[in-house]
Structure 1
Amino acid sequence: MQTLIPMRDGTGARSRKLSLTETAYQALRARVLSGELRPSAEFSEAELADELSMSKTPVREALGRLVAEGLIEAFPRRGYRVTPITVKDINDLFAIRAMTEGTAASMAALNLTPADLDRLEAMAEARYDPSQGESVQSFVKANRDFHIAIAEGANNPRLLAMVSAFLDECTRLFYLGALSRDVNPETSDDHRHIVEVLRLRDPEQARSAMVQHSERTQQGILRALISSDTTALTL
């Protein structure tokens, strides 16, 4: 009688490898977005592998994903560098944010329910302690949640995807800006005003309020990063 021997297809090993790659990717992405890995900071695979206590292979694969996202730059035989932030990057991103989020706000003004608006009003009260890293992290997330909630109110999945993508690109700017100065007053005041205008059900006023908020945020981030001695901002 023939004995059948189970075949090992390596699925478990592949899963472990994918898990390590995802772990490395999430850890490194968080460090870049939060500013822990500063703009223009240089490093090697070996350094990161040692810090993350894993082999170089999953770190290399994670770095490849971050290079594709534009957060990291690769230099053959030299290593890697966190992509610098330039004034043009900031201006380009916020120009697109003003267009997409202004449109989302104008559409949401006609769609948001009273319950939605009450929830936005509560979200507008988010504050943080600039000296506490976890507090800054929670605030940046709360800020994103506020803007996403308005974009969801537009009832346009493609527009929501665009708003979400550009908010993700702006994340490290929000972190660096919030760490460089106290943005509590300007953010909460602007967010409250946006909610007040949304309650009026006037699309053009809602668009204008969101565009003005985006422009104020842009100028505040530029001033903070240009005056900061610890931020690598390329003019």
Structure 2
Amino acid sequence: MSKKNEKEEGTGRRHGGRYIYEELRRQILTLQLKHGEQLDEISLATTFGLSRSPVRDAMARLVSEGLVTILPNRTAIVTPFEIEEFPNYITALDLVQRAVTRLAAMHRNEEDIRAIEAANEAYMEMVYKGDFSAMTERNKEFHLAIAAAARNNYLARYYDKLLSEGQRIQHLQFDFMTRQDAPSKLGRDHDDLIAAIKAGNPELADKMAHEHTMLFQSRFLTFMQRNLLKDMELQ
């Protein structure tokens, strides 16, 4: 094989791997792939019409995000969401979200503020459209814009992982939230975070971040109580 063909094949694998990653990630976050569902490398390669190499690359990225788990026998499954672990998740999210938002209030500049506000506008646009999948993505981008302003890559990386895990929870509750809240109300809690960061007030930013986490928790628990797990296949 010529160097040109090798290069083209390598590029194809990378692009194919990105497509597989994005498609599997979308299916996991929107619950098309259920919690605990097995992901077979060979079957996926056949489905996507690619070799196992880009499938393996895509799976590795999903494992790094906590969306896929490799069992001791090397079987890959969609990472189960265990209800009893929700309080621990909230504790971790609250601590990291408060730290990130506090640091953002301390270190943000005008460019950061513009990026944060633009991300919030993009999120609210999806709220009005009722596009649940896009809402979770835009919400994550909003919070990562805050993380960028915090200037701490260690916190940002862990925050990214927590937000990714939270996207599945958000998708479960967004339909309920949009039925209960007017679109203009849903998501307006971001405004308090933005105001605290713009004011350069770390104490207020910490407080608003905590309240934001508690709102997320409250909405999810209310969803759980109203639906009694009847439409969920959680493990």
TM-score by length of 1: 0.74
The correspondence of residues 46-195 of structure 1 with structure 2, limited to 5 A, is 47-54=43-50, 58-59=54-55, 62-63=58-59, 66-67=62-63, 69-73=65-69, 81-113=77-109, 116-117=112-113, 120-121=116-117, 123-125=119-121, 126-128=124-126, 135-182=131-178, 184=183, 187-195=186-194
1:214 & 1:70 partners in 2: Cα distance?
20
Match of 2:215 in 1: 216
Q: Deviations over 1:191-220 (max 9, x none)?
A: 112222334432111101101101211231
Larger Rg: 1
Which deviates further from its counterpart, 20-29 or 119-128?
A: 119-128
Any idea what SS the aligned residue of 2:220 has?
helix
RMSD: 3.6
C-alpha contact 1:42 1:80 (8 A) present in aligned 2: yes
Match of 2:230 in 1: 229
2:63 & 2:103 partners in 1: Cα distance?
35
Task: Report the number of matched residues.
Answer: 227
Tell me by how many angstroms 1:88 deviates.
Answer: 3.5
Structure 1 position 202 matched with structure 2 position 197? no
2:154 & 2:61 partners in 1: Cα distance?
24
2:57 & 2:197 partners in 1: Cα distance?
44
Tell me by how many angstroms 1:177 deviates.
Answer: 2.6
Q: 2:35 aligns with which of 29, 39, 64?
A: 39
Q: Give % identity.
A: 23
Q: Deviations over 1:112-153 (max 9, x none)?
A: 345644654454441435885xx2233222212221222222
- Letter of the aligned partner of 1:40 in structure 2? G
1:174 & 1:58 partners in 2: Cα distance?
29
Which deviates further from its counterpart, 161-170 or 9-18?
A: 9-18
1:143 & 1:230 partners in 2: Cα distance?
24
1:105 & 1:156 partners in 2: Cα distance?
11
Distance change >3 Å, CA 76–CA 151, structure 1 → 2: closer
Structure in which a larger fraction of residues adopt helix: 2
C-alpha contact 1:225 1:231 (8 A) present in aligned 2: no
**Unaligned stretches of 5+ residues in structure 2:** none
Distance change >3 Å, CA 155–CA 80, structure 1 → 2: closer
- Letter of the aligned partner of 1:128 in structure 2? M
Q: Deviations over 1:135-184 (max 9, x none)?
A: 22332222122212222222223222232232223222223332443264
2:117 & 2:56 partners in 1: Cα distance?
44
**Unaligned stretches of 5+ residues in structure 1:** 1-5
